[in-house]
Amino acid sequence: NFSPSSLSLLFPINPSSPVPSHLAQLPIRLGFSPTWHTQHRLRLHDAELAPPLLVACARPRKMLLFLIRHGETVDNVAGIYAGSRDSGLTSHGVLQIRRLAAHLAERPASIKFIYSSDLQRAVKTADAIAAEQKRVCSRDIPVVEFPELREKDFGSDEGLKFGDSRGRAPDSETAESMKARVDAFLDRHLLPLVSSQPDESAACAIVSHGIILGVLYRELCARVSRGGITVDPNPSAASSLISPPFWDNTGFLECTVSINSAGADEDKSLPLKLHVQRVNCTVHLKDLKKTRGGIGSAAYDEKQRTLTSFFVPGSKKRKSHDMSAG
């Protein structure tokens, strides 16, 4: 069902597992009937990489994007190459993602979409954001996982300490490979979403990893028309135009992407504009100190409870995966 101002989804749905109506507008085409899980998470491993189905919009579209790095992991602390490794969050990392989730829930931006790498350190960060959006804003947002958003695969260097590697491993993922999967994500998922979204107050949180976020940002900038990148007048944002931005754990780059598809060229390309508001924003981590004695750097135990949780009614009934719990 196409209209001049929207994009539709060819999405075979399992009648016994209905999908929320707002997910049915995701700009992707799937070659299978997915099962809708109770966790409200959709994995796109088997998604058909269909060409973007874009229709000219009657007016420009824009969307606020949060490009977010996951919380601190055990391998981050150990200084280990961990791209495809599914390294778990530390106890400090869980505190970071809770701070991040609370900060985003307090923002006036209306997060309506949450996209994530399918590696667990990113998924748990995204889950925390979704849980806090539901608790504070009463928005039930599914976390949609994309393998295209995984971190760089370091090949045989995976699991080695920084400095132990003798140059780049021959089986390490190439820059061309990372660019190809980021291009697929942008052209087949993110940009069609922006083009089809009539609500200009809508925002999308994208949770991924340090290296691949840099590739994502560069490829997004590469699609911007000449003179189409602007920044807020602060040093951190301005520096992003000179050198690739950097992400600390739970740091985020905040930007607004605008599409004027009514003025698209004959080659179907979309004229984009990008306004960068914040780079590596970690204001939510202010005054957060890591617990000493190695506790903060240890792997987070999802069964552990804080002192506060013992005094919260019904806390025993909370599920271990509820990252918004104390």
Give the residue numbers annotated as catalytic, written as ranges: 70, 151
**Which residues are within 8 A (CB) of 141 and not within 5 positions of it... i.e. 6 or more apart?**
40, 111, 112, 113, 114, 130, 133, 134
Identify the bridge partners of residue 266 per DSSP, sorted by sequence position.
Answer: none
75 is in an annotated binding site: yes
72 is in an annotated binding site: yes
How is 75-126 classified by DSSP, letter by letter?
HHHHTB--SSS-PPBBHHHHHHHHHHHHHHHHSSSEEEEEEEESSHHHHHHH
Indicate the helix (H) or strand (E) that contains 228: strand 224-231
40 is in an annotated binding site: no
What span, in angstroms and rounded, lies between the C-alpha atoms of 216 and 181?
9
282 is in an annotated binding site: no
136 is in an annotated binding site: no
148 is in an annotated binding site: no
Alpha helices in 107-250 (DSSP H): 120-137, 175-185, 191-196, 210-222, 235-239
Amino acid letter, residue 229:
I
59 is in an annotated binding site: no
45 is in an annotated binding site: no
List the strands of the sheet with 143-146, edge to edge. 41-43, 143-146, 110-117, 202-208, 61-69, 252-259, 272-281, 224-231
321 is in an annotated binding site: no
Residue set of the binding site: 69-76, 121
Residue set of the binding site for substrate: 69-76, 121
